[in-house]
Amino acid sequence: MSLTGFDVTEFEAFLPILKCHWEEYHSHFTLAGKIRERITYNRKTGKIPLIEDKLLFVLSYLGIAN
């Protein structure tokens, strides 16, 4: 809670929302915002492979940035 400002239930409530939006955005655009020219695949060797880890990273980044 001290890292993100959310408790476990709030964190878990965000997961399905983030997953839906992440997959929608990431399938059509690159992280730089350019239109994707080919299909993307989830890689197990990615820098942040799990959606839970991505959410934790985003929440902690936004908490530090503010």
Q: What is the pTM of this model?
A: 0.67
CA distance 46 to 4: 23
CA distance 53 to 59: 10
DSSP per-residue codes, 17-35: HHHHHHHHHHHHB-TTSPB
With b meaning 16 or more CB within 10 Å and e meaning fewer, what string describes 38-47? eeeeeeeeee
Token representation of residue 47: 């820098």
- Which tens digit of pLDDT belongs to each residue from 12-65? 998 999 899 988 888 888 878 899 887 766 666 778 888 899 888 888 888 755
